[in-house]
Structures are given as structure tokens and as C-alpha cells.
Amino acid sequence: MVMHDIARDNPNAIEARNMSVYYGSFRAVKSVSLAIEKNRITALIGPSGCGKSTVLRSFNRMNDLVPSARVEGEVLFHGENIYAPGVDPVNVRRRIGMVFQKPNPFPKSIYENVAYGPRINGWKLSKRQMDELVERSLRGAALWDEVKDKLNQNGLSLSGGQQQRLCIARALAVEPEVILMDEPCSALDPISTLKIEELMFELRKNYTIIIVTHNMQQASRASDYTAFFLMDSDRAGQLIEYGPTAQIFQNPKDERTEQYISGRFG
């Protein structure tokens, strides 16, 4: 593992430089440059098909799982390009965790769901240490009080909102630095959505969060920075505007951003 903290005062957790993503010969994302600040919540917004999910998935090399996908340009994490030859995507994903659109707990017990990451990574933990880590992660995801008496129950037995927080706890247990969230609330009811948003604010003290959302209010309510993406005439997604959320929503520089957030298209 070569990814040491090169500069602790580097304010950026992740930085994409001229990143393009291809599926076969189709360019899905065109030359995105984007620096994500540490311990902040950055929202990626834009109409369907604008490439925001693809950008998110490029940040922890989830696109590697699509056989035809290819990334050009650089994605820097601790100053190192995660797409450089010799970088193991397993190591990248361990440190840049992910929460998905639909809650996807493993069909295992709540405890085993959370303990999965530490186990596969071969962390030498005693039973007590593992218990502590599981508890801390579940507390971190604001789920502990609801499940502490039923840790051996199947994760699938929880409600949708609880399942999603279990997935967050599962991601926290690996102790990542960045958490990517791909529309984490789109399958949830409004109350569960609010809980997750509160949780994100809590988590931001210790983690950098990047969230893709369809929900304009969520972006304006729950994020520090907003990046707006749009499809160009070749159907390739590109970054239109990026800045502090308040500025993007109140005083967008680009006309297309204004049209989008005021609901005139998309």
C-alpha cells in the first residue's frame, strides 16, 4: 500500500482531472475535472443519463465491473491516481466506500453484515473488538438502538430505511475515508430519507461524502457543494457548473444550471 498521507493539509479528498469514461466506443462522461473537499458533502445533480452516477462509480473503480468500461484521465486520491497501473481496486474500494440506490444488505444476520468488511480484510480482531466495531458502526449509522437486541436477525428482515442504514453501517465498519452514495434515498419514504440526511450531517465530521441525487431539495438542503451535470449533443455527460451549494442554487453562473434547478427541463 503506497497511499500514505502525502499532505495532511491537502484539502481535497478526491480530485478528478480530465476524467472521461467510455463504455466500449461510447463516451459516457466527457473530460470532467472536479476536486472534492474533505469532510464536506458534495452533491452530484443533473437529469437522467447525464453521467453523474458514472462519475460517482469512477471514484472507487466500480466501473471496472462493467467489462467494456474504460476510464481516461486521472482520479487522485491522496495525490495518487487510482487508475495508475498496479493500483488494486480492492484497496481503493476499501478506503472509498459506497452506498447504493436500493438497500442491498447481504442475506446474513445484521451482525454479519457489518462484520463482513473487517473479516474479508483479515483484520485481526478479538471477539470483543469485533463486537465493539460492529456496535460503533451501527451507532455511527444511527441504527444501534433499533437493532441492538436482534443482531442475529437477518438483515433483510429490517424495514427499507433500516436496511439502508445497515448498509451505511456496513460501509463504516471498513473505516473508509470517503463514502459514495448513489441516490441512497430514492427507494425510501420521506421519514427514512430525513433520517439518512441527518445522518449524513453527522458523518461529515469524519468522512467525506459524495452523493448523487435526483432530488433537488435534498441537494440544496443536505450538501455543501453541488456539481451540475448535463448531457451534451453526443449524449456524453459533462460537468456544467460546480460550486458551493448556496451559490449554485441561488446564483448559478450558467444559464443551463438555472434552467435545471428552476425546473424548466430534466
Binding site for other proteins (CB under 8 A): 1, 38-39, 60, 62, 65, 67, 88, 90-95, 97-100, 102, 104-108, 116-118, 120-123, 136, 139-140, 142, 144-145, 156, 167, 170-172, 174-175, 177, 195, 198, 202-203, 205-207
> 55 vs 240, which CB is nearer to other proteins?
55
Q: How far is the CB of 102 from other proteins (least distance, A)?
A: 6
> 129 vs 250, which CB is nearer to other proteins?
129
Q: How far is the CB of 39 from other proteins (least distance, A)?
A: 8
Q: What is the 3-state secondary structure (H, E, C) of the chain?
A: CCCCCCCCCCCEEEEEEEEEEEECCEEEEEEEEEEEECCCEEEEECCCCCCHHHHHHHCCCHHHHCCCEEEEEEEEECCEECCCCCCCHHHHHHHEEEECCCCCCCCCEHHHHHHHHHHHCCCCCCHHHHHHHHHHHHHHCCCHHHHCCCCCCEHHHCCHHHHHHHHHHHHHHCCCCEEEEECCCCCCCHHHHHHHHHHHHHHCCCCEEEEECCCHHHHHHHCCEEEEEEECCCCCEEEEEEEEHHHHHHCCCCHHHHHHHCCCCC
> 151 vs 203, which CB is nearer to other proteins?
203
Q: How far is the CB of 255 from other proteins (least distance, A)?
A: 36
> 5 vs 255, which CB is nearer to other proteins?
5
- Cα distances (angstroms) measured from residue 66 to each of 69, 243, 264: 5, 31, 34
> 143 vs 239, which CB is nearer to other proteins?
143
Q: How far is the CB of 217 from other proteins (least distance, A)?
A: 20
Q: How far is the CB of 110 from other proteins (least distance, A)?
A: 14
Q: How far is the CB of 176 from other proteins (least distance, A)?
A: 9
> 117 vs 252, which CB is nearer to other proteins?
117
